[in-house]
Structure 1
Amino acid sequence: MKFLVKTIAALLMVAVSFASNAQTILIKNAKVHTQTSAGVLVDTDILIENGLIRTIGEGLTADSALEINAKGKVVTPGIFAVMNQVGLVEIGAIAGTNDAGVEEIDGLGASLSVDEVFNPKSTLIPMNRAGGVTRTLIKPYNGTSLFAGLGSVMDMSGDYDSLIVSDVAVFATYGEYAASLNGGSRAAALRDLEQAFSQANEYLDNAGAVKSGEYRELDYSLSDLATLGRVLDQEIPLVVSVNRANDILTVLDFAKSHELALVLEGAAEGWKVADKISKAGVPVILNPMDNIPSSFESLNKRYENAALLNKAGVRVMFSSETHNAQNVRYAAGNAVAYGLPYDKALAAMTNAPAKVFGGASNYGKLMPGFKAELVVWSGDPLEVTTHAEQVIIDGKVTDMMTRSKRLEQRYKDITNDNNTYYRK
């Protein structure tokens, strides 16, 4: 009871603090991509109060509101960057700035969680935020295990309380890399996956006896088995990196046999078995810019992959890079150029990840009652010449300053020596 009272009190304090910091913002005369059945609205206003979208319509007014003139500009939900190590890596080649995973790990590694080591003050956060990224799904690297660990959803506010949802998915791999971890054999890798989930099932059915030592000794840690138990209960999805068409079918069969919520990542040859992916109801995360085979398992990569998967009825999402997560919108534009409908491309980096990884109840669409997490663009967000003019997270206008802009300002004027570090 004491814990409950303290928890409620803490939540009330957070709510009061949030309300006091929230802004009233009125965006005027924008072209609004709602990502709802309302479609695209022109010359439309958006009123934001207490961190939420209060009203969308024409001719709105609000006393004491921060007014943003968006005439000729475009408003979309914020970019949800998926599958990266933002906040975990600063300089990939320097180990001291890299908390994205463990090269060698004992056991499965399925329970490795990284949200507690997320650095909200990383220079990559303002850089990507200024490019329109408002939240990200971070994950560990794959090391020497079939499982990389757990991924979490973080916001890009730069605040220390950046966690949105912890441990929303387990990440694994299958195919050439998985085979290399298992003596060069896909069959051995599949056997290990089967054994891991079989023992997780045992643990679910006999958790009390296992913990008390009254059950046979299992091969994996209890934390790993409990994590896989969440996947077996369909509490969180299993995201499997896989590329070759027949490997994709193997993973689909594996997920079906264990009744798992599955997400495919990579899926270089997904277009070849798009109908089967669609029939299984499995979403796909891919990079629309990736059409050069980097291995034998990806010989049939093509730019049309996203369009062909979407045509078959597959929900498509776009992966993102760590240092340049904001460039996912350029990849989306490339997908549109190769046949993906515009609204689907926009959804692939906003609404679709919210539905799959959490937050769909209040994020990823522009409508009353939803979180005010959006971007005001200078023009079409899928065009390379467009830039984000305002980024709003939790109903607050964020700082658009980045390290690059500071360097530009510092060294732009070379007519005098005032740009040296030790002079003010």
Structure 2
Amino acid sequence: MENMESNTPPQTQPIPPDQTPSSASKLLNYILTQYSTRPPGSVNESLTIAQLRGEFQKVCDTVEEEQYKYPSYLTPFKWYFVSIYFIGLMVSGIFTPLGMMIIALLGVLIYWVIYDIQFNFIDRILPGTSTLNLFSMINCTDLEHTATEKTLLFVGHINDMRKDSGVLYHLTAKIMHFAVYFFALVVFVGYIVGLFTNNYIVLPAVSIASTVVLFFVMTLYFTGKKNRVSGLATAVCLTQLAQQVKESSVSLLDSTNVGFLVTTNYNERHSGIRAFIRAHSKDERLKPEKTLVVCLDELDDSETLTCYKREGFIKYSTNLYNLIKDAAESEGISIGNVANYIHQPFSFAEEFGWKYQGVVPITAKCRSVKRKAREAKEKEAKDDVGVICIHDDQIKCINDTTKLLWRLARVIDNSAEGSKIPVKTIPLPKPSIEQPTNFVGDSPIVL
């Protein structure tokens, strides 16, 4: 915390205690207001963390700040590294077959270690930036628990998300990922065959193909605009859910521990989840066989709530999805279930999927049509590309997700070892984020 607070811009002052937001809506508005007062490109994680920590401390039994280090330069420089790799293949294929094979094998090894396997030791041996995870729990006042207790872990983040990079962006990333490995394999086989036949005709072909792929990779440099609401919305949703769980008038979660994890790394939320799993590998509160994990990937459109049933080689829990679907139906909320084969990178639920079986990511990406309509209204509100606006549908998305997760918590708490129960008979209070006074229809709030 000390390192991060030292980076706080001098013009940004902490909110006085008597003005602390009393609702999640005000919390979201306040955090985004601080964004708008910062110089472009500056980051003030400490202010956001302090506000979220204060909200969780009001209702949770334990609130832990878990520091970890991550190499912040790895992900932003990924496309540059890949470009150098393809340039190396392109140039070496013209001059030296042996050099091309060395570049191919060395490049694919580095790519595999850093960006695919992402070994834990990389975060430890490389210089990096200090940040932290915010981990809170209800119904869990000590670390010693019986094996019969269940834990329901809700996970959010405060990442700035892409507004809409489109299918072309993700398809290009997929092609690039495949080409890194495929070209290395072709170069290796082509070189071995060339040693015996003295014919390296395959290698120039790879060189030409690398030129084509390099052209597409260069399009990935343009990351587009950031959506500062959809990532923060996941954390705000968890603060509201925690408040509802704690203030429930019924006897709630008598045999279930409820946890809330917010990874606060703006640049790479996957590394925050890996650090959390590493730190809690022997935590009795988070046994893989007794823990269900719901990850909020993005909350931006109330009409596109979706669960991923799989991402790559990771297959998520069908039983947990069925419980989520039943909870959504009881609340009149529509939720889909799709497989994610194209979008890269995968949601951070992938990190949990390697260890925990009961994992489901929930996302609500904004549709292109709605996004364009929002941008038009934002432009009318203020002719400034850096303006930050909150739309009423974004607030509705937070409210709907909170109601859904609240219902899910009751379902899991009342279920016998995860079996389904009739969720429509469960009484449910209906607190929600209060709409700010300057909401008019779908008009954005300019901060």
Same fold (TM over 0.5): no
* The structure with more helix, counted as a fraction of residues: 2
Normalised to the residue count of structure 1, the TM-score between the two structures is: 0.25
* The structure with more strand, counted as a fraction of residues: 1
Normalised to the residue count of structure 2, the TM-score between the two structures is: 0.24
Asked which structure has the greater RCO (Cα within 8 Å, sep 6+), the reply is 2
